[in-house]
Structure 1
Amino acid sequence: MIMACPAILTGQNFLASVLSGIDCQAQTIGLYGYGALADPTSFISLMLTGLLTLFVALFGIRMMLGYPIAGRDLVNAMLKIGIVLTLATSWPAWRVLGYDLVIHGPDEIARAIGTAAQLPAVGNSLGDRLQRIDDGLVAFIAFGTGRPMVAQSDWFFTQSDWYQIGLTRIVFLSGTVGIMAMIRLAAAILLAIAPLMAGLLLFGTTRSIFAGWAKGLAMTFLASLALTLVLQVEIAMIEPWLQDVLLRRAATQITANAPAEGLAIALSFMIVLLGLILLAGWIAFHPSDWLSIAIPATRLLGEERDAIPLRAAPDHPPRQAAPGRHVSLAIADSLRREERHIEMRDGRTAAQFQLTAIATTTAAPAIRPGNALGTDHRRGGKRVSAASIKRDAAH
Structure 2
Amino acid sequence: MASICDSIPSPESFAPSAIRFLDCQAQLLGAEGYKALAAPGSTASILLTGMTTLLIAFIGYRMLFGQTPTIREGVLTFVKIGVVLVLATSWPAYQAIVYNIILHSPAELVSAIGAPTNLPGSGGGLVARVDAVDQALKILAIDGVGAPPMGPDGRPLIPSVAPSPFLGFDNFALGFSRVIFLVSTVGAFAIVRIAAALLLALAPLFAAFLLFDGTRGLFEGWLKAILGTALGSLAIAVTLGLELAFMEPWLAELLARRAGELDVMGAPAQLLAATTIFAIALAGVTWLTARIAMSLRIPAWLKAFPASWQEDQRGRSEASRPATAAHPPIESRSRAAAIADAVAINERREAAAADAGGGSRALHIARSAGRSDAGERYDRREALSSAGRRTRQRISSRAIARDKRL
Give the corresponding residue for 2:123.
123
AA matched with 1:113: I
Distance of 1:156 and 1:350 partners within structure 2: 116
SS of structure 1 residue aligned to 2:168: helix
Change (3 A) 1:33 1:330: same
Report runs of 4+ in structure 1 exceeding 4 Å deviation.
148-151, 154-158, 325-332, 345-354
Alignment match of 2:198 (pick from 189, 213, 236)? 189
Shift of 1:143: 1.1
1:270-310 alpha-carbon deviations (Å, 9 max, x no partner): 1111111111122222458xxxxxxxxxxxxxxxxxxxxxx
Give the Cα separation in 1 of the matches to 2:354 and 2:90: 88
**1:83 shift after superposition:** 1.5
Q: Percent identity?
A: 39
Distance 1:38 1:32 in 2: 10
Contact between 2:173 and 2:272, CA under 8 Å: does it hold in 1?
yes
The equivalent residue for 1:378 is: none
Cα offset for 1:353?
4.9
Of residues 35-44 and 64-73 in structure 1, the stretch that sits farther from structure 2 once superposed is 64-73
Shift of 1:79: 2.1
Letter of the aligned partner of 2:73 in structure 1?
A: D
Give the match for residue 380 of structure 2.
Answer: none
AA in 1 matched with 2:125: S
Q: Which range moves more in the overlay, 74-83 or 322-331?
A: 322-331
Contact (CA 8 Å) 1:38, 1:195: kept in 2 or not?
Answer: yes
Closer/same/farther in 2, CA of residues 12 and 323 from structure 1, 3 Å limit: same
State which of 232, 238, 245 in structure 2 corresponds to 1:229. Answer: 238
Q: CA separation of 1:253/1:61 partners in 2, compared to 1, >3 Å: closer, same or farther?
A: same
* Contact 1:129/1:235 (8 A) holds in 2: yes
SS for the counterpart of 1:4 is coil
C-alpha distance in 1 between matches for 2:222 and 2:201: 11
Call closer, same or farther: CA 1:236–1:329 in 2, change over 3 Å.
same
Q: Which residue of 1 aligns with 2:85?
A: 85
What pairs up with 1:281-296 in 2 under 5 angstroms?
Answer: 281-286=290-295
Query: Take 1:42 and 1:106, find their aligned partners in 2: how far apart are those partners?
Result: 32
Q: Do the aligned partners of residues 168 and 112 (structure 1) sit closer, same or farther apart at CA in structure 2, a change above 3 Å counting?
A: same
How far is 1:124 from its partner? 2.7
Structure 2 distance, partners of 1:350, 1:108, is 96
Cα contact 2:224–2:296 (8 A) shared by 1: no
Larger Rg: 1
Which one-letter code corresponds to 1:88 in the other structure? Answer: A
The alpha-carbon deviation at position 262 of structure 1 amounts to: 1.0
Whole-angstrom CA distance in 2 between matches of 1:110 and 1:6: 26
Distance change in 2, residues 1:250/1:103 (3 Å): same
Deviations 1:101-154 (A, max 9, x none): 110011111110000222111233000110110111111012110036999xx9
Q: 1:123 aligns to what SS in structure 2?
A: coil
Compared CA separation, residues 326 and 268, structure 1 to 2 (3 A): farther
The reply to whether residue 198 of structure 1 matches residue 194 of structure 2 is no
Partner of 2:11: 11
| Alpha-carbon separation, structure 2, partners of 1:10 and 1:147 | 33
Note the C-alpha offset of 1:328. 4.7
Q: TM-score, normalised by structure 1?
A: 0.72
Shift of 1:158: 6.6
Question: Structure 1: 5+ residue runs without aligned partners?
Answer: 289-318, 333-338, 359-395
Native 8 Å contact 1:55 1:202 kept in 2: yes
Cα distance, 1:284–1:267 mapped onto 2, change above 3 Å: same
Aligned 1:162-311 pairs, distance under 5 A: 162-286=171-295
The separation in 2 between residues aligned to 1:327 and 1:245, in whole angstroms, is 93
Give the deviation of 1:351 after TM superposition: 11
Which residue is 2:318 aligned to?
A: 322
| Separation in 2, partners of 1:199, 1:156 | 59
Q: Is the contact between residue 23 and residue 184 of structure 1 (CA under 8 Å) also seen in structure 2? A: yes
**Which whole-Å CA distance do the structure 1 matches of 2:53 and 2:189 have between them?**
41
Is the contact made by 1:12 and 1:131 (CA closer than 8 Å) also made in structure 2? no
Q: 2:115 touches 2:123 (CA, 8 Å); kept in 1?
A: no
**Which amino acid in the other structure matches residue 101 of structure 2?**
L
Q: Distance in 2 between matches of 1:10 and 1:101?
A: 30
**Matches of 1:243 and 1:70 in 2, distance apart?**
70
1:137-192, Cα deviation, whole Å (9 max, x unpaired): 111012110036999xx999672211110100000000000111111110111011
Q: Which amino acid aligns with 2:102?
A: V
Q: Report the Cα distance in structure 1 between the residues aligned to 2:49 and 2:64, rounded to whole angstroms.
A: 23
SS at match of 1:256: coil
Deviation per residue, 1:7-39 (Å, 9 max, x gap):
433333221111111111111111111111111
Instruction: Tell me the residue number matched to 1:137.
Output: 137
Q: Deviations over 1:215-254 (max 9, x none)?
A: 1011111111100100100100000110111111112111
Amino acid at match of 1:231: L
> Equivalents in 2 of 1:206, 1:91: separation in Å?
23
TM-score (norm. length: structure 2): 0.71
Counterpart CA distance in 1 for 2:101 and 2:164 is: 54
Q: Given that residues 8 and 14 in structure 1 are in contact (C-alpha distance below 8 angstroms), is that contact kept between their aligned partners in structure 2?
A: no
Kept in 2, the 8 Å contact 1:107–1:123? The answer is no
- Whether the aligned pair in 2 keeps the contact of 1:147 and 1:158 (CA below 8 Å) is no
Distance 2:95 2:324 in 1: 59
Cα shift at 1:349: 7.2
Q: Which amino acid aligns with 1:206?
A: T
Specify whether residues 80 and 160 from structure 1 end up closer, same or farther in structure 2 by C-alpha distance, changes over 3 A only.
Answer: same
- Please, which moves more after superposition, 164-173 or 276-285? 276-285
